[in-house]
Structure 1
Amino acid sequence: MDLSLGLAPTKNKSSNEEQGAFPRHSPAQRLRLEEIFQTIKYPTNKQKSEIAEELGLQPKQVNWWFTYKRGLVKNATQKEVNAAFRAEIQMLLEEKREMERQNRVSCQACRDSRLKQLRLENELLKEKVSWIEHVEVDLKIQTHSMYRDIVNNAIAFGAERWLMELRRIGERCGSAALEYMHFYDNGVITLPEGRRCVMKLAHQVLKEFSKNLTMSSKSDLPQYIADTDDSGVRFSIPKNRNLFLSNDPFIVIVASSVSLPLPSHTVFDFLRDPARRFEWDKFCDGNPWHEIAHISTGTHPNHYVSIIQPLVSPPKDGVKIIQECFIDPLGSYVVYSPLNTQELNMAINGHDLSNVSLIIPSGFLISEDSKSLSKDSKSRGSLLTVAFQMHMPAPLITNFESAADASNALMTTVVQSIKHALLSGSELK
């Protein structure tokens, strides 16, 4: 486009002036004007006069040229900006279409189709894969008659059990690795790091509970091991190896198993419910409890860690309970431990509590009772194992018989309370 705004000089000067037109700039004039424009975009009146005198132009011609040149530059810049905006909008639209396409691909129907395909592939693999199970059992340790069928039928140690355990650990690790809160999660825990710390603390409680169930005769005080056939209560008094965390030198562990004519999931739902905890836990003083935090540890809604406290008059700086629940076709558990509120709040805020001051795990293991199954029954009975741990100072352990009587009384009370709550008014009582 020609940047000149006048007309080339003509002999008929009077005619041009009458029409208000300016002579067209010569190539040399335009080149010089372009050079000046690179350094001066808005010349003053004095600069315009100097430029006009240098190029043999009128000041009005110079003013007009600079005004028009600035307009061209502005329009060109605006076109570039508009083009950039259009390109960005187009890119956003393409991203939106791609997200919509991916959503359509990952819709529920497509996921179901993919799941069916995976199941089909799994069935095909079963013709090509053989499981070899090898279990070594110490014959010196006699399995209790209540659990003999579970052990002999490979329910306790078979491949299916190990696969389910691997799945449990995998889902738990996956849940801990999430950088956002699961839609099942709720309560006072709002940070992913806090969720991980609380899950780690609950896992520590679960590990300590599992250790308590292995009442080996190789304890520090083998004479303090009892297994009373008439009461069905077993307890031991090992030494506390973590004296730097607790001043009590001894731990009392008491456990018992009982058969219930109810499906295992019914027993599980009852024991995990904080609102009904007072029906078997004497420390609730007859008051219901409730959840203040809920963390999912797997895909099943009943795989979770929770923090519970009394519904009425909760302690500000006292003790709350951390509890973990899990259920699968081969069994379930509800494990818990009271914890200091201050330390629990630290875990909620994302602080690692590897050396928590005191963990006193207790809980329940629930499995199906194969003996209670008949061909006409609609549901199996269940086997319930109850285990408690208590830290006791040395003066209270000096009398072995008194400790045994107290442990037996505690376990009997809890078991009877559970039976009464579950079977009261039931024809299965």
Structure 2
Amino acid sequence: MQVTWVEHSEYDESGVQHIFRPLVRSGIGFGAQRWVATLQRQCECLAAIMSSSVPGEDHPVTCKTAITVSGKRSVAKLAQRMTRNFCAGVCATYHKWELVQVGNIGEDARLMIRNGTNNPGEPQGVVLSATMSVWMPVTRQRLFDLLQDERLRSQWDVLSHGGPMQQMVCISKGQDRGNSISLLRSGTAANNGNQNSMLILQETSTDISSSLIVYAAVDIPGMNVVMSGGESDCVAFLPSGFSIVPDCFARAGGPDTACNGTLAKEEGGSGSGSGSGCGCLLTVGFQILVNSLPAAKLTMESVDTVNALMSRTIQGIKEALHCN
């Protein structure tokens, strides 16, 4: 099958964050290459999920929990909902969000709140969405490899409880091993015999244009139902995660080489799709239930807490990559 896709886009550059302007100008951000790559990845995902194989047949060491074919498909359906909810929270395209205007938020961060009521599959109350985008002086692949490695998760994730995570289930979504659905458990909790600890459901996706890591804490009883082939609607969560895209900067000096607002077209990338810089852009996104009462007001304590969480996460990632 051959796919020909021609894309014409018009956008207001003043609404694009300065570090993302070279990416958009290059054509990688919203161009046809991105859509074709996404289509190819989705076709591979559907083929893998609908196959009759079960996790562990090809790589039995990585699958420590039994799961049926119907369970694999239920987990995939749940992961799809998780990623969709994450993107809706980060992009603010689905729910009605209110922008939080406070003095101690940096220009690369954005906070929004909404009242989460009558939304199936998520907890009820006041939801805070926090995002921050930063330039990282490493390749997109190196950053992606770090974030999807459960053994290194304790260096940036507070949910790891200071120790490595154990991969209980890994469901492949295609030929690239970076496209998968995993169920993780804190190794610290497991070693302590804590059977009531939460699990981490994670979906990773990558192609030539971008990479995405989405995860959420899920309860064990609900996941047992899903892995047995039951409906996934019983699992409620607020997913968080990361988006990684090439920087498309002309030089290796970081965003200062491409942020003056009058960048020539050739400085924004050649349009070939590879990106001309050697770094990448990381967007961190958290969704947090700050109050279980829908009518409650956002407090500065909650704002400070999520600010500290974003800063600690990004700092942990930089330290793990030795790029401070």
> Which category of TM-score, normalised to the shorter sequence, fits these structures?
0.7 to 0.9
SS for the counterpart of 1:313 is helix
Of the structure 1 ranges 306-315 and 399-408, higher mean CA displacement relative to structure 2 is found in 399-408
> How do residues 275-424 of structure 1 correspond to structure 2 at under 5 angstroms?
275-314=151-190, 315-353=194-232, 355-371=233-249, 373=251, 380-393=278-291, 398-423=297-322
Deviation of 1:194 after TM superposition, in Å, equals 1.0
SS for the counterpart of 1:257 is strand
Structure whose residues are more often helix by fraction = 1
Structure 2 gap ranges (5+):
254-275
| 1:165 is the counterpart of 2:38 | yes
**2:241 partner letter:** G
Deviation of 1:180 after TM superposition, in Å, equals 2.0
Q: Please say if residues 111 and 131 of structure 2, whose CA atoms lie closer than 8 Å, have aligned partners that are also in contact.
A: yes
**2:214 partner letter:** V
Q: Which of the pair has more CA radius of gyration? A: 1
1:152 to 22, 25, 30: 25
**1:147 partner letter:** F
Counterparts of 1:157 and 1:348 in 2: how far apart (Å)?
A: 36
Q: Please say if residues 250 and 394 of structure 1, whose CA atoms lie closer than 8 Å, have aligned partners that are also in contact.
A: yes
C-alpha root-mean-square deviation of aligned residues, in Å?
A: 3.0
**1:201 partner letter:** L
- Distance 1:393-1:243 versus aligned 2 partners, 3 A rule: farther
Q: Please say if residues 244 and 281 of structure 2, whose CA atoms lie closer than 8 Å, have aligned partners that are also in contact.
A: yes
Structure 1 gap ranges (5+):
1-117, 123-128
Q: Please say if residues 224 and 400 of structure 1, whose CA atoms lie closer than 8 Å, have aligned partners that are also in contact.
A: no
Name the structure 1 match of 2:58: 183
Structure whose residues are more often strand by fraction = 2
| 1:233 is the counterpart of 2:114 | no
**2:115 partner letter:** K
SS for the counterpart of 1:230 is coil
Q: Please say if residues 88 and 95 of structure 2, whose CA atoms lie closer than 8 Å, have aligned partners that are also in contact.
A: no
Counterparts of 2:13 and 2:118 in 1: how far apart (Å)?
A: 31
Counterparts of 2:283 and 2:209 in 1: how far apart (Å)?
A: 14
Q: Please say if residues 264 and 382 of structure 1, whose CA atoms lie closer than 8 Å, have aligned partners that are also in contact.
A: yes
Counterparts of 1:218 and 1:172 in 2: how far apart (Å)?
A: 27
Deviations 1:87-145 (A, max 9, x none): xxxxxxxxxxxxxxxxxxxxxxxxxxxxxxx9xxx7xxxxxx975322243x3861001
> How do residues 119-130 of structure 1 correspond to structure 2 at under 5 angstroms?
none
Q: Give percent identity, aligned residues only.
A: 25
Q: Please say if residues 239 and 287 of structure 2, whose CA atoms lie closer than 8 Å, have aligned partners that are also in contact.
A: yes
Name the structure 1 match of 2:145: 269
SS for the counterpart of 1:238 is strand
